[in-house]
């Protein structure tokens, strides 16, 4: 072994030394940023848990109410690149506060909607700040974190989404079932305001990027690896939404659980997401490609299993935990987008949540189609299997192009 080879081999010995504890300012800042994820996760996913109540509230069918979810998702898809590009010149803390204030206003409009068209428009407006917030928050967390821990810092920001599914979504669902779905949206608006205050108080201020322009940020959309990462999330992540969008009728009508049990099963799903999110940060820092591939394979297998176990009131909640845990793809894709973006960091980072809300729209739409066709409540799980496999194929194409240098990075 040469000296150079011996030096390269040394990092394997360092694994015996505990990793340094992140500095307190980083932990406090990421906690404040994660609170925004908690507010957004509560808002986004509670609509799925309250789908029957929303349908009755504006006098539409449950499959039609699924379009309300799609309207929010399309708002994210459009708002992420537009708001991120326009806000790239602003100091990031100021931009984050503004995005959360806008998010609070969108939830208030949704809660006050009196008919289906008004609700559709309000949900679209609410979705606009979603992706830009997560993109900018991820950049802030990565900048604050030391080398070798950046994916873990980003995963802690995304952890707010997972914790929302343990606490926020079940609580808001219970509030919505007892006080009406509008009360749940008022609660989401209050969380957004709390986030804006917290970010302003504890997240370090940074000078604006004077060289940033919308034109420069849009160059991210010319990078094939950025587009392939977005496609992986949009297709591969669609399976979760094909199932989660209709989780309430699946649990009550197929598994035979009482309506009051739905919030508890949603908490189980969220607990799985928390475990998966924490694991994703560590695994992505060590082996990002293997982590993303493993996540998609795990998802496909579990959706297939859920098609069988969802008819059991005992096995369905158990499978739901592992379904939540399998959602480890977002952290890896967030890091990949940031690494592939060149100097178009703000817009590219925001595209991660554009991709997953394309997945939201696609999954909810396809799930609604198979349900409206009378194929039964197990059909969305089979749709989810197909979407996970398709996402894996796109990811494999991205890795192949990167390895062979057939496409620019």
Separation of alpha carbons 77 and 91, rounded Å: 23
Q: What is the pLDDT of residues 63-102, one digit of tens each?
A: 777 778 778 878 888 888 888 888 888 888 899 999 999 9
pLDDT at 28: 86
What are the C-alpha distances in Å from 212 to residues 156, 201, 314, 353?
A: 27, 25, 54, 21
Looking at per-residue confidence, does 45 or 338 come out higher? 338
* C-alpha separations of 180 from 51, 57, 338, 341 in Å: 12, 9, 40, 43
Residue 128 near residue 231 (C-beta atoms within 8 A): no
- The residues near 105 (Cβ < 8 Å, ≥ 6 apart) are 189
Domain extents in the chain: 25-404
> pLDDT value at position 97?
94
With a cut of 80, say whether residue 210 has pLDDT above it: no
Compute the average pLDDT of residues 326-335: 86
Confidence of residue 8 (pLDDT cuts 50, 70, 90): very low
Per 3-state DSSP, the chain is made up of helix, strand and coil in percentages (nearest 5) of 80, 0, 20
pLDDT recorded at residue 24: 55
Residue pair 252/308 in contact (Cβ under 8 Å)? The answer is no
Alpha carbon distance 366, 217 (integer Å): 32
The predicted-structure confidence for 348-374, as pLDDT tens digits, reads as follows 888 887 888 788 778 888 998 999 888
| Listed range (18-22, 29-33, 229-233) with the worst mean pLDDT | 18-22
Q: Are the CB atoms for 346 and 212 separated by under 8 Å?
A: yes
pLDDT, position 103: 95
- Per-residue model confidence (pLDDT) at position 11: 40
Which class for 5: exposed (0-12), middle (13-18), buried (19 or more C-beta within 10 A)? Answer: exposed
pLDDT in tens, 158-190: 888 888 878 887 788 888 888 888 898 999 999
Question: What Å distances lie between residue 142 and 151, 221, 243, CA to CA?
Answer: 7, 22, 32
Sign of the CA dihedral running 76, 153, 226, 274: negative
Q: What are 344's two structure tokens?
A: 């178009």
Class of domain 25-404: mainly alpha
Q: What was the pLDDT predicted at 140?
A: 87
Q: Is the pLDDT of residue 316 over 90?
A: yes
In 3D, which of 136, 130, 338, 328 has the Cα closest to residue 225?
A: 338
The region of weakest confidence among 9-18, 129-138, 264-273, 319-328 is 9-18
CA dist., res. 56 & res. 214, Å (int): 42
Contact 42, 161 (CB under 8 A): no
Average pLDDT, the chain: 84
Confidence category of residue 17, pLDDT binned at 50, 70, 90: very low
Residue from 154, 153, 107, 159 nearest 130 by CA: 107
> Residue 407 — pLDDT band, cuts 50, 70, 90?
low
Average pLDDT over residues 95-116: 92
């Amino acid at each position: 072994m040469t000296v150079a080879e011996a030096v390269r081999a040394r990092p394997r010995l360092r694994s015996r030394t505990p990793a340094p504890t992140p500095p307190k300012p980083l932990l406090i800042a990421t906690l404040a940023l994660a609170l925004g994820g908690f507010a957004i996760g509560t808002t986004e996913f509670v609509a799925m848990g309250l789908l029957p109540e929303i349908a009755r509230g504006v006098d539409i069918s449950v499959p039609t109410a699924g379009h309300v979810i799609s309207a929010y998702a399309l708002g994210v898809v459009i708002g992420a690149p537009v708001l991120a590009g326009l806000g790239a010149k602003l100091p990031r803390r100021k931009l984050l506060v503004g995005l959360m204030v806008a998010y609070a206003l969108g939830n208030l409009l949704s809660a006050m909607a009196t008919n289906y068209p008004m609700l559709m428009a309000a949900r679209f407006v609410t979705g606009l700040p979603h992706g830009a917030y997560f993109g900018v928050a991820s950049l802030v967390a990565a900048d604050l974190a030391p080398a070798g821990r950046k994916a873990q810092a980003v995963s802690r920001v995304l952890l707010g989404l997972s914790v929302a599914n343990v606490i926020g979504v079940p609580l808001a669902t219970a509030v919505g079932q007892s006080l009406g779905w509008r009360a749940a949206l008022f609660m989401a608006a209050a969380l957004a305001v709390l986030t804006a205050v917290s970010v302003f108080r504890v997240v370090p201020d940074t000078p604006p990027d004077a060289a940033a322009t919308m034109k420069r940020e849009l160059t991210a959309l010319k990078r094939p690896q950025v587009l392939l990462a977005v496609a992986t999330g949009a297709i591969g992540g669609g399976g979760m939404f094909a199932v989660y969008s209709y989780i309430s009728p699946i649990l009550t009508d197929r598994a035979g659980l009482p309506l009051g049990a739905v919030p508890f099963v949603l908490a189980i799903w969220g607990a799985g997401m928390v475990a998966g999110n924490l694991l994703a940060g560590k695994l992505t820092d060590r082996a990002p490609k293997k982590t993303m591939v493993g996540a998609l394979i795990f998802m496909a297998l579990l959706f297939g299993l859920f098609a069988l176990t969802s008819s059991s009131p005992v096995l369905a909640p158990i499978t739901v935990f592992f379904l939540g845990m399998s959602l480890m793809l977002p952290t890896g894709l967030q890091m990949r987008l940031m690494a592939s973006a060149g100097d178009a960091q703000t817009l590219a980072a925001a595209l991660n949540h554009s991709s997953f809300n394309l997945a939201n729209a696609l999954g909810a739409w396809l799930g609604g189609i198979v349900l409206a066709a009378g194929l039964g409540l197990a059909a969305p799980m089979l749709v989810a299997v197909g979407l996970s496999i398709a996402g894996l194929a796109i990811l494999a194409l991205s890795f192949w192009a990167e390895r062979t240098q057939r496409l620019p990075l």
